[in-house]
Every structure is written in C-alpha cells, then in structure tokens.
Structure 1
Amino acid sequence: MKIVLINPPHTAIGSRVPDDHLPPLGLLALGGPLIDAGHDVRLVDAEFGPMPLAAAVQDALSDHPDCILIGHSGSTSAHPTALEIARMVKHRGPATMVIYGGVFPTYHWRDILAETDVFDFIVRGEGEATIVALVEALDRRRPLSDVAGIAFRDDLRRPFATKPAGTIADLDEYRVGWDLIDVSRYSYWGGKRAVVMQFSRGCPHLCNYCGQRGFWTRWRHRDPVKFAQEIAWLHREHGVELINLADENPTSSKKAWRAFLDAMIAQNVPVLIVGSTRADDIVRDADSLHLYRKAGVIRWLLGMENTDEQTLALIRKGGSTSSDREAIRLLRLNGILSMATWVAGFEDERFRDLWRGFRQLIAYDPDQIQALYVTPHRWTPFFRIARDRKVIQLDARLWDYKHQVLQMTRLKPWMLFFSVKLIELAVQSRPKALARILFHKDPEQRHSMRWYTKMGRRVWFREVWGFLARDRRLDDGPTLAAFWGAPQDEEEQSMTFVHQVRKSAEPAIGISPSA
C-alpha cells in the first residue's frame, strides 16, 4: 500500500521559536516496519516552516496514498491540529484512510471516534507491530477485529476497541525508518545535526501525574551494544553530532546503562548525548559519572517537579530535595550540565511557597531551569485528585505544560505567571550562571549554555506577550472532569490488561472539536 506519514506543525512556543527541528521519532518508528513489510512509505514533516496545513495536506495527497498516518510527540496539545489535518484530508480525498496514533488518542479513543468521523482508525499503545498488522488487514481485506491494539467504529457506528496489543518485548526487533528523512535538515543545540532516539521505554517509578507510565506499561531497554552501534552509524554515515534521548528514565538499570556507556566509549565517535533522568540515579552512579561524560553525555534534564517535600509526596515523585541537590553537584563535578524542571500551579500554592521554591532553586544551583505548569491527564491518578479544579484554558493547544490551565485557590493567573517569569529571570541571571555562560572552560558547554540562554530569552518574551495579548483565560470555567471527562486511571495500564469498562464511561464527552 501507499502510505504517507504526517508530522503536524506544533503550536507550542518551544517548537516555533528555535531555529532547530528534530525528526519525529514516533512516525519514523512506524515507517521502518512498514517499509520492511513491503509498503511504499513517505513522510511529510510539516514542522519545517512551519508548513501551512493546506500545503501539508496537498503534499500528502499528491501521490494519492491509500492511507495517511498522523501522530505527534506533543500528543494532547497537538490534537486540535491533527484533527484539522484529518478533516482537510477527508474533504479533499474522502477515500483515503486516516489512521491516528499517540498517547492522547490511545486513551481518548472513545471521545474522538464519537465526536468525528475523520479518523478511520486509532492505533493504541506501541504501534510498530500494530500498524503493520492493520495495514495488512486493510490491504488483504481481513477482519479488523482480529487486529490487536486498534479502535474504530463498528457496523453500528459505535466506537469499538480490539484487545490490547501488549508491549514489545524486544525493542531491537523493529528498526527506525531513518531512510524516510534527510538527516541534514534536522538540528538541535544550536545547529548541530541531531536526531531523537530511545534507549529504553517506560519507567519503573510511580509518579502519579505521569502521562507516559501507563502507555509504555513497563521499563525495557534496547541492546546496549546495538544501540551504540546505531549511534555510531548515524554519525559516520549521516554526520549526526547529537542524540536527544526521548526516554523517560534511560538509567533505570545500572548494569544496562553501564554496558551502553562502555559500548559508546568503544565506538569512539564525537557524538553528544542529552536526555532526562532521575536525580537518584545520578547519585547512585557517583562512581561512574566520569564514564557518562566520556561516552558523550553533556546534559541531563532532572525531573525535580518541585522543591517542596509535601508536594513531592502528593505527586508520589519518590525523590528528595537532598538527592536533587547532590545530583546537580555531582554532574557539575563531572563536566555535565544540569537542567532542573520546576512545576508550579498546584492548587493551594501561595507566594510564600513560590518564594521557598525560588530559594531552593538558588541553593540547587542548576546550570539551566525549565519552569512548567501542572497539566493533568485523564488516565493518570493525579487527574482524580484534581478532577474538581476549574479549567481556565479551553484551548487544548495550550495544554503543553508551558501554560497555566487550572485555577488556583489563592493566586490569580497573573500572580502565578509573573512570579514564575521573575523566578526564571532571577535564576538564569544570577552571577554564577552568567559567569558560566561567559567563561566556562569547556567550549562545548559554553556553546550550549549560550544557545539555551538565547532561545530561553526569546521564549520568555513570547510567553509574556502571549499572556498579555493572545491567551484567553476563564474566570469560572468547567471542572477538569467536566472538560475532559470522568477519571480514567482504572484504564491507565490498558495497553497490557483488558478492563471491563462501565457503561457510564461510554463514550465520555471530552473537548469540543472547535477548542
């Protein structure tokens, strides 16, 4: 079959402001198995430009494909754009099958299929095996009910899901379709040729706000030696200079991660590695952090979420402020940059809580920070805790962690927003941080900090302008449950286990198509 993959242009400021773009790993991961199964596959990456939606659809339909696959890593905030693309595809090429995948449609499949008929099929969970089975069933006119891991409308036009497909045990079984892209077009870190990869999937920890935990169901990793060989091949054949790891927690297994570090060192290629991990793992690996740097690791994003122990207990983070601070110290000692994420917008936060958080961040002394806002997902346990909070942003495109979406009891939106902006400015502009940006002895780190500061400055001003002039917030919006539907955490692990879904959950009313 002739298949086109569409990567929608993301509306998030972080995607639009930088001059760099990274390839859509999720779509490439589907493209490789489809090519190997004998199908004609092509990618339309609308992030470049970004392409106007009409132009992206025209490009996708230009060679009259049998199927169009739509997916995006920013699944929730990209949904309105994916929906609009699907509508345009069906308007111009009504016979073209439209298949949709990602975390958001995996859990919101009932809502999506009930509210619109522009998506013919939804792939739920990991898609490498499922998409090949679905396309084969369509091509050979086999019963779709036999394809595990999909959702569609039955003969009575009701949303219907087949049994779960489960997780992929061997992550090396399916290859990434690197042949679908011109690698030279993609860059990160200030113009370095870059791609996104995954060493592992899943996370063994129980953070109750995490939208990825149930999707991947369990932690698995690729063969460390094969993964290092693939990175080396990308460098030697395509000039890749930087790998952005998309893993939630690549260092979960000390043994597997150490094997990867050794394999990367043996490959002896000048490739930089950035990604995210837990502070606890950094502290655990204090004796081997010099190997991290030798293998190419130059920056870790540490998901600290908050500097308040009560808040960390609420979200079941499982870490501690002491391990967070020690991890940053150890990373700096070994020549690795630290980026601390800090989440604001919890219901009862006050100015004094924000002030305490600011003082903690100063004490942590990270190289970079990333301030985010509480953004609950319906399939997580945290959603049930927050279900009665009021929604102040009805536009799902703003559910990107960079906008406050929930009302607080003690702070008005402008109070939280400008407090966060001032904290970002103060932390990034403190003398220690400026000295590192200007005089760091490692030219690679100096370059990266200057690039991040330049991008951060542009994003900062865009966010302030957006808050003042563009974004619209409600004073008395619907509750979270009324907006997204009833809590769905009983189905969080539905990629592996079959759940008996109550009639009251069929199908829940979610976001309106115009939002």
Structure 2
Amino acid sequence: MKIVLINPPHTAIGSRVPDDHLPPLGLLAIGGPLLDAGHLVRLVDAEFGPMPLASVVSEALKDCPDFVLIGHSGSTSAHPTALLIAGMIKARAPATIILYGGVFPTYHWRDILASTDAFDFIVRGEGEATVVALVEALEMRQPPASVAGIACRDDLNRPFATQAATTIADLDAYRVGWELIDHRRYSYWGGKRAVVMQFSRGCPHLCNYCGQRGFWTRWRHRDPVKFAKEIAWLHREHDVELINLADENPTVSKKAWRAFLEALIAENVPVLIVGSTRADDIVRDADMLHLYRRAGVIRWLLGMENTDEQTLQLIRKGGSTSSDREAIRLLRTHGILSMATWVAGFEDEGLRDLWRGFRQLLAYDPDQIQALYVTPHRWTPFFRIARERKVIQRDARLWDYKHQVLHMTRLKPWMLFFSVKLIELAVQSRPKALARILFLPDPEQRHSMRWYTQMGRRVWFREVWGFLVTDRRVKGGPTLAEFWGAPQDTEEESMAFGRPVTKPDLPAAVNRGLPGRRLAG
C-alpha cells in the first residue's frame, strides 16, 4: 500500500521563530512498523518553509496514495491546520483514506467525527500496532471496527469507538523509521544535527493538569543498552550530534536510567542530550549526576510549574520548592544547565502573587526560564476544577501554552501578559545569567546559553507584537466546559494496560469495510 505521513505546519511561535527544525518522532514511530509490514511509506514534513497548505496537499497526493496519515506533537493547537489539510485532500482525492492520530484526536474523536467527514479513522493512543492492524484490515477488506484502538463511523454516520488498544509492553518491538528523513535537514541547539527520541513513555506521577499522563497510560522504558546503541548508530551513520528526549520523565527508574547512562558512556560517542525530568529525581540521583554529564546530558528542563506551595498542592505536583532549588544547584555543580518552567494562571493571581513568584525564581537561580500559561485539557482532572472559568481565546491554534486562554478576575490580559514578559526579561537579564552567557568555561554551555538567549529574544518580541497587533481575545466568552465540552477525566487513560484484547460487541453497521473503495497493492 502507498502511505503518506503528513506533519502539518505548526502555527506556534516556538515552531516559526527558530531556524532549527526537529524531525516528527511520532510519525517516524508509525512509519517504521508500516515499512516493516511491506508498505511504501513517504513523509511530507510541512514544517520547512513552512509549506503552503496547497503545496502540502499536492506533495502528498503526487503518487496517488491509498492512505494519508496526519499527526502532530502539538495536537491541540495543530488541529485546525490538520483539519484544513484533510478537507483539501478529500476535495481533490475523495477516495483517499485519511487517518488522524495524536493526543487531541484521541480524546476529541466524537466531536471531530461528528463535525467533519474529512477524517475516515482516528487512531487513539499509541499507534504503532493499531495503524498496521487497521491498514491490514482495510487492505484485506475485513471489518475495520474489529481493530482495537480506533474511532470511525457506522453506516448511519454515527461516531463510534472500538475498545481501547493495549499499551505496548516492549517498546523495542517497534522501530523508528529513520530512513524516512534526510538527517541533514534537521537541527537543534543552534545548528547541531539533531533528532527526537524516547527512552520511556508515560509518567507515574499524578499532576492533575498533565495532558500526557493518561495518553500513555503507564510508564515503561526501552532496553537501556539497545537505546544507547541506537544513539551511537545515529551518530556514526548520520552524524547526529544532539538527542532531544521527548520523555515526560525518563529518570523514573534510577536503575534503568543508570544502566542507560553507563551504556552510552561505553559507546564513547560525542552526543549531547537535552530533555526534561522532575527535580525530585535530580535530588535522588545526586550520587550519580557525574554519569549524567559524562553521558552527554547538557540541559534538563525541570517542570516546576509554580513557585507557590499551595498552587503545587492544587495541581498535585508532588514536588516542593526546596527540592526545586536543590535540583538546580546540583545540576550546576555537575556542569548541567537548568531550565525552569513557570506557569501563570493556575489560580486567580494578582500582581502581588506574580511579584512573589518573580522573587522566588530569582532565588532558584535557574540558567534559563520558560514562562507558560495554564492550558487545560478536557481529559485531565484539572479541567474539571477550572471548567467554570471563562475562555478569552477562541482560536485553538493559540492553545499552545504561550498564550493566555483563561480569564482572570484580578488581572486584565494586558496586565498578566506584560507582567510575565517583564519577569522573563528580568530573570534572563540578571547579572548572573549574563555572566554565564559570557564566561561559562564549558564552550558547549556558552553556546547553549547564547543560542537560547538569541532565540528567546526573537520569540519575546514576536509575542509582544502578536499580543498588541494580531492576537484577538474575547470578552464575556464561554466557560471552559461550554467551549470544549464536558470533562473527560473519567476517560483519561486512553489504552488498556496488561489486559488481553477481546473482540468488542459492535453494532452490525460498523462491521463492514469501506464500500466502493478499491485499494491498490
């Protein structure tokens, strides 16, 4: 079968401002199993340019594919673009079967299938096994609804989901389709050839705002030695210099993480690693942080979210401000840069609250800061807490964590925006931060600090311009529940874990293949 994977052009500022682009790991992870199943697979990465949508569609349809798969890691803010592309493909080639996957469609499948005919199937949760099974079922003219982990329509055009697919227990059973990309086109960290990888999936912690926890269902990790060998192969065969770990929390198991670090050190390849983890794990690993640096770890993003203990309790973060400070200190002692995330809008903050948060950030003394805005997802427990708050941003493309989307009673949007921008400016421009940019002894760290500062400056001015000129906010908008729908936290886990797959009890109308569709071999 001819299959095209489409990575839609993302509208987020973080995607448009940097000159670097990272490969779409999610689509490559789907592409590998499809290639191994004997299909002809091609990737259209529309992030470059970015490609105009008409060009994306033309490129996707140039060899008359049987299937088009659309997905994006920023799936909520990318959904409007994915919908436009799917509609344009259907208008030009209505017989092409379009599959859609990602976190947003996994949970919003009812709304999507009820509102548009552009998508034929939605893959829910992990897609490696599900996509191969679905393509095989359609190719063999078997009932597609016999495939677990999908959503589709019956012959009355009613949205319907099959039973949840089972999580992939062995993450090494499915390979990433690295041959789908030209590695020379992808870079990060200021021009270093780079890829995105996952050592693990999921997170065992209970942060109630996290949009990823339920999608992956349970925390699992790859074989540490095999993972290290794959990194070494990427460096030796494709000159990859930097690995961006997409894990929510790769360090959950100290034993497994140490085994990976030691295996990568043994491979003796000059690869840098950036990623994110919890401050608690850094404090726990104080006795082995020297292995982090020897293995190439150069920066960790620490998901601190807030500097207020009551807010941390509200969102069930499970950490503490003391462990956050200690983690930053330990990383600096071992030559690893720290980036602290700080999220505004969890509660109805005022200027005093923001001032207190700013003072605490200065006390933390991170090397870099990433200021974000709370962005509730319908399938998380936090959505239920915030469901009566008013929405001020109706454009889903701006639900990207970099735009305020919820109303605050004590601060007008301009007050919150410029407070956050001033906090960013003050933290990144304090004398200690400037001195590190200029005088850090490690050349890689200096390069990182300068690159991040240069990119951050461009993003900062673009955000100010967007707030003042292009972005539109609404007054008296709908509540969060009215905007997205009723809370879905009872459906938070998208897949079954460790339970055998049994054939679901399906409506008879769903147990048919797609009528009138001739699939080429």
TM range (shorter): over 0.9
Name 1:228's counterpart in structure 2. 228
Name 1:212's counterpart in structure 2. 212
**CA displacement, residues 65-119 of structure 1 (integer Å, 9 cap, x when unaligned):** 0000000000100000000000000011111000000000000000000000000
1:352-367 correspondence to structure 2 within 5 Å: 352-367=352-367
Give the C-alpha shift of residue 136 in structure 1. 0.3
Name 1:483's counterpart in structure 2. 483
Q: For the residues of structure 1 that align with 2:334 and 2:440, how far apart are their CA atoms?
A: 14
Name 1:67's counterpart in structure 2. 67
Give the C-alpha shift of residue 389 in structure 1. 0.3
1:264-283 correspondence to structure 2 within 5 Å: 264-283=264-283
The answer to whether 1:436 aligns with 2:432 is: no
Runs of 4+ in 1 over 2 A off after TM superposition: none
The answer to whether 1:86 aligns with 2:114 is: no
Name 2:256's counterpart in structure 1. 256
Name 2:508's counterpart in structure 1. none
Q: For the residues of structure 1 that align with 2:347 and 2:95, how far apart are their CA atoms?
A: 47
Structure 1, unaligned runs of 5 or more: 501-515
Letter in 2 for 1:378: R
3-state SS, counterpart of residue 172 of structure 1: helix
Q: For the residues of structure 1 that align with 2:183 and 2:108, how far apart are their CA atoms?
A: 33
Name 1:243's counterpart in structure 2. 243
Name 2:515's counterpart in structure 1. none
The answer to whether 1:166 aligns with 2:166 is: yes
Name 1:407's counterpart in structure 2. 407
Q: For the residues of structure 2 that align with 1:301 and 1:293, how far apart are their CA atoms?
A: 15
1:263-412 correspondence to structure 2 within 5 Å: 263-412=263-412
**CA displacement, residues 138-167 of structure 1 (integer Å, 9 cap, x when unaligned):** 111011121010000111110001111120
Letter in 2 for 1:27: L
Name 2:507's counterpart in structure 1. none
8 A contact 1:347–1:407 mirrored in 2: no
3-state SS, counterpart of residue 41 of structure 1: strand
8 A contact 2:209–2:383 mirrored in 1: yes
Q: For the residues of structure 2 that align with 1:494 and 1:97, how far apart are their CA atoms?
A: 23
Q: For the residues of structure 1 that align with 2:220 and 2:435, how far apart are their CA atoms?
A: 40
3-state SS, counterpart of residue 414 of structure 1: helix
**CA displacement, residues 43-78 of structure 1 (integer Å, 9 cap, x when unaligned):** 000000000010011000000000000000001000
Q: For the residues of structure 2 that align with 1:495 and 1:337, how far apart are their CA atoms?
A: 35
The answer to whether 1:40 aligns with 2:45 is: no
Give the C-alpha shift of residue 493 in structure 1. 1.3
Name 1:110's counterpart in structure 2. 110
Q: For the residues of structure 2 that align with 1:219 and 1:438, how far apart are their CA atoms?
A: 40
Q: For the residues of structure 1 that align with 2:14 and 2:180, how far apart are their CA atoms?
A: 25
Please identify, of 481-490 and 341-350, the stretch whose mean Cα deviation from structure 2 is larger. 341-350
8 A contact 2:311–2:347 mirrored in 1: no
8 A contact 1:342–1:369 mirrored in 2: yes
Name 2:512's counterpart in structure 1. none
Number of aligned residues: 499
Letter in 2 for 1:151: A
1:441-456 correspondence to structure 2 within 5 Å: 441-456=441-456
1:192-207 correspondence to structure 2 within 5 Å: 192-207=192-207
Give the C-alpha shift of residue 7 in structure 1. 0.2
8 A contact 1:347–1:409 mirrored in 2: no
8 A contact 1:123–1:149 mirrored in 2: yes
Please identify, of 143-152 and 275-284, the stretch whose mean Cα deviation from structure 2 is larger. 143-152
Q: For the residues of structure 2 that align with 1:223 and 1:76, how far apart are their CA atoms?
A: 31
RMSD of aligned Cα (Å): 0.9
Name 1:51's counterpart in structure 2. 51
Structure 2, unaligned runs of 5 or more: 505-521
Give the C-alpha shift of residue 494 in structure 1. 3.5
Name 1:422's counterpart in structure 2. 422
Give the C-alpha shift of residue 133 in structure 1. 0.2
Letter in 1 for 2:239: G
Q: For the residues of structure 2 that align with 1:478 and 1:439, how far apart are their CA atoms?
A: 50
Q: For the residues of structure 1 that align with 2:369 and 2:379, how far apart are their CA atoms?
A: 28
Q: For the residues of structure 1 that align with 2:459 and 2:473, how far apart are their CA atoms?
A: 20
Q: For the residues of structure 1 that align with 2:46 and 2:9, how far apart are their CA atoms?
A: 5
8 A contact 2:216–2:494 mirrored in 1: no
Q: For the residues of structure 2 that align with 1:120 and 1:284, how far apart are their CA atoms?
A: 47
Q: For the residues of structure 1 that align with 2:291 and 2:218, how far apart are their CA atoms?
A: 27
Give the C-alpha shift of residue 347 in structure 1. 3.4
Please identify, of 230-239 and 489-498, the stretch whose mean Cα deviation from structure 2 is larger. 489-498
Name 2:492's counterpart in structure 1. 492
Please identify, of 68-77 and 138-147, the stretch whose mean Cα deviation from structure 2 is larger. 138-147
Q: For the residues of structure 2 that align with 1:315 and 1:221, how far apart are their CA atoms?
A: 26
Q: For the residues of structure 1 that align with 2:301 and 2:204, how far apart are their CA atoms?
A: 18
Letter in 1 for 2:203: C
3-state SS, counterpart of residue 56 of structure 1: helix
Specify which structure has the bigger relative contact order, considering alpha-carbon pairs within 8 angstroms and separated by 6 or more residues: 2
